[in-house]
Structure 1
Amino acid sequence: MPAPIGSVPALSAASATIFSIGIAFLGYWGMYEPTGWRVADIIVFVLALIGFGCLGLVPWMATSPVESETSDVRIRIARHLFLAGVMAIWLAVAISVIF
């Protein structure tokens, strides 16, 4: 079954929006402060990088060619990458607030 019309631009725009929110979070979080990094800081940074990687792959995966026009395999993978990226970014935010 093909993906609904407009799902590729919407998915790409949503991933770019969450990506920019994550960048703003890292700038506000203070990864450039002169104090030493704790284990929680490293976990936050690694989760954010994983989230950025997933979100950065979403537009590429959503627009890559498929074997047939009715296949939505790449869109499904892009949706899973989007979900993983959002979860990783928001988990990083939650951990930074808690610790």
Structure 2
Amino acid sequence: MSLRLAVHTSTLKSVATTGSPGGSTMRAPAGSVVGLCSASATLCAMGMAFLAYWGVHEATPWRAVDVLIVLLAFTGFAALASVPWIVTTPVPEESAERVGAARRAFALGIAAIWLAAVLALVL
């Protein structure tokens, strides 16, 4: 039993330091893909609700600030909509993951939509 425990402990140490037994790269957590996909869809829906509430459909003429707000929001929507595509794109190597690129697209989408919302409230 002690031999089995020693082997198991050394395997756990190698997994903790390298990310996989015998591997040298650290993999993303198992729920990262699902979490990024669902969070991007949720924030996309919240951004669309913001645009509907803000009044894109009003009959008043648009100012330059209004166009900037809509462009920022659409940029955020494009970034958030691309997150599931980026994170689930097949990769040629097992070690290459797209989670980092998807997280950057997610952050860009959040920043653009938040900036659009703040500009809409302030201006």
TM-score above 0.5: yes
The one-letter amino acid of 1:48's match is A
Q: Extract structure 1 runs of 4+ deviating beyond 3 A.
A: none
**Aligned twin of 2:28:** 3
**Aligned twin of 1:63:** 88
Deviation at 1:70, TM superposition (A): 2.1
Secondary structure, in 3 states, of the residue corresponding to 2:45? helix
**Aligned twin of 2:46:** 21
Which consecutive residues of structure 1, in runs of 5 or more, have no partner in the other structure? none
Larger Cα Rg: Structure 1 or Structure 2?
2
**Aligned twin of 2:99:** 75
TM-score after normalising by structure 1: 0.96
Larger relative contact order, structure 1 or 2 (CA cutoff 8 Å, min sep 6): 1
**Identity, % of aligned positions:** 46
Task: Output the CA distance in 1 between the equivalents of 2:31 and 2:93.
Answer: 18
Task: Output the CA distance in 1 between the equivalents of 2:37 and 2:65.
Answer: 30
Question: How many residues of Structure 1 are paired with residues of Structure 2 in the alignment?
Answer: 98
Q: Of residues 69, 77, 90 in structure 2, which corresponds to 1:44? A: 69
The one-letter amino acid of 2:35's match is A
Deviation at 1:39, TM superposition (A): 1.0
Task: Output the CA distance in 1 between the equivalents of 2:56 and 2:30.
Answer: 40
Task: Output the CA distance in 2 between the equivalents of 1:81 and 1:91.
Answer: 15
Deviation at 1:18, TM superposition (A): 0.5
Task: Output the CA distance in 1 between the equivalents of 2:45 and 2:77.
Answer: 9
TM-score after normalising by structure 2: 0.78
